[in-house]
Amino acid sequence: MTDKAPPPPDDFPPDQPPPYQGAYGQAPGAPPYDQPPPYDQPPPGGPPPGGPPPGQPPPEGHYDPRWGYGPPGVPYGMPQQPPQETTWAIFSYVGMVVIGFLAPLIIYCVKKNTEPFTRFHAAQALNYQITLLIHVLAVAVVCVPPAIALDNPAFLALFILPYLELLIGQWVFIIVGAVKSGKGKYVTFPTFFCFRMIR
């Protein structure tokens, strides 16, 4: 018995290893790079509890490592709002331009028991309109009596604050609310501009 290595085969040079049969840089036994992994086998680490049968995509909204970030057709696995709900939610904001507080009030009364997404946005649009009215009435209570008693209209200058809120803030909140609700997202207005009275 000797400590010498066996001699290399005659068809390979002694300073080079034998050729590898798989793709370059790929582990032995792995599928080729140009072929998708077999979906009929469980993912590494075992199938998730309560997962779908092999070869079928997971139910909507559930994570499965075989499908990346979520089931096919649902971006990032997030459930999407039905198109009808997003349409009514958009109208609850845009309708304020046409008929004021009546648009969110009607939508809220009709949809409050059936569509929670629409209910949230209609209630928020209605709360914004009521809050704006409260701001105007509060300024009127503070400014009008001194202006009448002292016969000085300078006290009415404070009406510029609710006027700017109506002129600028209303358009900002209508646009933000309509865009976010159109994307199926919830957005919450600051409490100063939108008291949570109707939920």
Give which of 196, 18, 173 is closest to 97, Cα–Cα: 173
Burial group, residue 30, by CB count within 10 angstroms (0-12, 13-18, 19+):
exposed
Per-residue pLDDT averaged across 52-77, rounded? 51
SS3 state of residue 44: coil
Q: Report DSSP state, residue 153.
A: G
Q: What is the pLDDT of residue 175?
A: 92
In percent, how much of the chain has pLDDT > 90? 20
Cα separation values, 140 from 62, 65, 99, 144, 169, Å: 54, 61, 24, 5, 19
118 Cβ neighbours under 8 A, 6+ residues apart: 85, 88, 89, 92, 107, 111
- 77 has pLDDT over 50: no
Domain ranges (residues) in the chain? 83-182
150-165 pLDDT tens trace: 888 887 888 888 888 8
Asked if residues 40 and 54 have their Cβ atoms less than 8 Å apart, the reply is yes
